[in-house]
C-alpha cells in the first residue's frame, strides 16, 4: 500500500490537500492492516489446532465406541461415542470455512471496504456461529450416554452429565470474550476511528 493507492481508493479531497496528513494517514492505516494480518495469522493457527485436536478426539472416540460395542452389542454404551463423533463431523466444515475465509482475505483493498470486512469478521457474535449449535447439542446428548456407561438414563444422570459440559462451555465463553476484548476490540476501535476521520 502507498499514498497514491489510498488517494485513488478514497478520492478524498481532505487528504489530497495535505501531503503530511496523507502520509500520517497512510502510516496509520498500514499499521492497523498489519495488526489485522497478525491477528488473522493467530486465528488461523488456532483454528487449525482445534481442527486437528477434534479429528484426533474423533478417531479416539471412534475406536472407543467400537470397543464398547464389541464388548456389549446390545447395550447403549457405544451410542455416546457415536453421537459425539457425529457432532465433530458437523463442526469440522465450519472450521474449514473459517480457515478458508482467512486464506482468501484481501488486505490490499480500499480502506472503507477493508474496515467493513474486518468489522464483519471480528464481530463478537456472528450469525454463522450457529453452525456450532449441532455440535453442542450432540455433545450434550453424547455425554449423557457416556456417563451412564450402558445404564438406563435418568433425570439425575442426565443433569449430572451436563455439569462438566456447562463448566467447559462457560470457561470457554469467558476466555473467548476476554480475548476478543483484549485483541480484536482495539483493532476495531482503531479502524472505526480511521473511518470517522475520513468521514469528518
Domain span holding position 66: 18-199
User: Does pLDDT of 145 surpass 50?
Assistant: yes
pLDDT of residue 154: 85
Domains in the chain, number: 1
Is 2 inside a domain boundary?
Answer: no
Task: Give tens-digit pLDDT for 19-29.
Answer: 555 777 788 88
Is 175 inside a domain boundary?
Answer: yes
Over the range 182-192, which residues count as b (16 or more CB within 10 Å of their CB) and which as e? eebeebbebbe
User: Does pLDDT of 178 surpass 50?
Assistant: yes
Task: Give tens-digit pLDDT for 25-73.
Answer: 788 888 999 999 999 999 999 999 999 999 999 999 999 999 988 888 7
Is 58 inside a domain boundary?
Answer: yes
Other beta carbons within 10 Å of 103: 9
Amino acid at each position: 500500500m502507498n499514498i497514491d493507492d489510498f488517494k485513488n481508493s478514497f478520492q478524498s479531497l481532505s487528504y489530497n490537500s495535505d501531503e503530511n496528513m496523507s502520509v500520517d494517514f497512510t502510516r496509520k492505516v498500514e499499521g492497523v492492516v498489519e495488526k489485522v494480518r497478525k491477528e488473522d495469522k493467530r486465528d488461523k493457527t488456532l483454528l487449525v489446532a482445534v481442527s486437528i485436536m477434534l479429528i484426533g478426539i474423533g478417531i479416539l472416540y471412534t475406536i472407543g465406541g467400537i470397543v464398547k460395542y464389541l464388548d456389549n452389542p446390545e447395550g447403549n454404551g457405544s451410542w455416546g461415542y457415536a453421537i459425539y463423533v457425529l457432532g465433530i463431523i458437523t463442526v469440522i466444515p465450519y472450521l474449514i470455512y473459517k480457515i478458508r475465509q482467512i486464506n482468501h482475505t484481501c488486505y490490499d483493498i480500499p480502506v472503507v471496504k477493508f474496515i467493513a470486512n474486518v468489522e464483519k469478521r471480528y464481530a463478537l457474535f456472528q450469525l454463522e456461529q450457529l453452525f456450532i449449535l449441532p455440535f453442542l447439542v450432540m455433545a450434550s446428548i453424547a455425554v449423557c450416554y457416556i456417563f451412564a456407561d450402558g445404564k438406563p438414563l435418568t433425570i439425575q444422570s442426565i443433569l449430572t452429565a451436563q455439569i462438566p459440559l456447562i463448566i467447559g462451555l462457560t470457561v470457554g465463553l469467558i476466555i473467548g470474550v476476554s480475548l476478543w476484548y483484549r485483541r480484536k476490540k482495539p483493532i476495531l476501535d482503531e479502524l472505526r476511528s480511521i473511518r470517522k476521520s475520513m468521514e469528518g
